[in-house]
Structures are given as structure tokens and as C-alpha cells.
Amino acid sequence: MNGWNEKKSVAVIEETFKAGASLTGALRALVDTFGYVDEAAMTPLMKTFARSRAEVLGVISYYEDFRQSPPGRHVIRLCQAEACQAVGGRELTRHAQEKTGLALHETSPDGALTLEPVYCLGLCANGPAALIDGQPVAQLNAAALDTKLTGFEE
Ligand code: FES
């Protein structure tokens, strides 16, 4: 993931618009390219999609995926939906928060790790589920999570 680049972000917005994508599609492309949607994208998004600032922010805030600040070098997204909660998802989230010292939606001060919620990854029969650096992980437990966290430090 690269840092924010205003010129490139405008190109991404224009390309997605020309390809027929919706505002949501452009936001997805920005997150895929930069990891987040920077405040600097507001004006080009508003102009390109003929939407007000409130409308753009409404779409951004509706979807968990459209974060508005740069993520850490590693991102752990823990499923918070019902099926995962039924098999220990809450306890796993609590463990992750205690182990990392981070709340959900928080990035460590050194930029190494972001902890985020996610709502169902389609792995409901194999929870607790998570996305770790974009890779789905089923039946995650505290020990396996600790191993991943240790691996991030190396
Ligand atoms: S409820 Fe967690 S993957 Fe579906």
C-alpha cells in the first residue's frame, strides 16, 4: 500500500467513474490503492459524482471498509457478527485488545498495527473468523493470534 498521492487519487476517481462505477466503487478503489480515503479526495469525489459532502461522508461512514486514516503496516480485522460471537469472538476481541493495547478502529502509535471490526466474512461455520493482512483466517484462537502478533514484530 502506498502513501496518499493527490494526483494519483484523482486519476483513480476519474478511471472508476469512466468505467461506470458508482461512488461506492470509487471509494473501494481508493481504499484498495491507498488503504484509506483521505480528506483530500472529498472535492474530486463530490465533483465527479455530483454529490454533496454530506452524501459522500454518509457513504464512507456507512461501510466499515472505508477508513479515513492510514492503516498500520499490519491490519487485523476481527469478526463481530453473531455466529463468531457464539463461538468466542467477543473473548478473542477482548484478548486482542489487551494484548495489543489497542481499541477497535485504533492504530498503534508506531504505525505497526491496526485493529478493526468486520461484520461477517462468510466463514460463519468456522469462527471466530478474522482477516489478517487481507487473508481470511478461520477458527482463530488466542494462541494463534499471539503467534501472528509475534510474527509481526520480527
Ligand atoms: S459471523 Fe463471523 S464470519 Fe460470519
Confidence at residue 2, expressed as pLDDT on a 0 to 100 scale:
62
For residue 134, the Cα-to-chain-centroid distance in whole angstroms is 9
Q: Kindly give the distance from the C-alpha atom of residue 26 to the centroid of ligand 1, in angstroms, as a whole number.
A: 26
The whole-angstrom separation of Cα 24 and Cα 66 is 9
| Residue range(s) occupied by CATH 3.40.30.10 in the chain | 74-153
Q: What are phi and psi of 119, to 5 degrees?
A: -120, 90
Model confidence, pTM = 0.86
Nearest CA to 65 out of 130, 118, 114, 4 is that of 118
Q: Is 124 in the pocket of ligand 1 (CB under 6 A)?
A: yes
Query: pLDDT tens digits for 7-66?
Result: 999 999 999 999 999 999 999 999 999 999 999 999 999 999 999 999 999 999 999 889
The whole-angstrom separation of Cα 139 and Cα 124 is 10
Q: Mean pLDDT for the chain?
A: 95
The whole-angstrom separation of Cα 67 and Cα 127 is 24
Q: Is 130 in the pocket of ligand 1 (CB under 6 A)?
A: no
- Confidence band, pLDDT 50/70/90 cuts, at residue 1: low
Q: Kindly give the distance from the C-alpha atom of residue 17 to the centroid of ligand 1, in angstroms, as a whole number.
A: 32
Q: Is 121 in the pocket of ligand 1 (CB under 6 A)?
A: yes
Q: Under DSSP, is residue 106 helix (H, G, I), strand (E, B) or coil?
A: strand
Half-sphere exposure of 25 (CA within 13 A, CB side): 12
Q: What architecture (CATH level 2) is domain 74-153?
A: 3-Layer(aba) Sandwich (3.40)
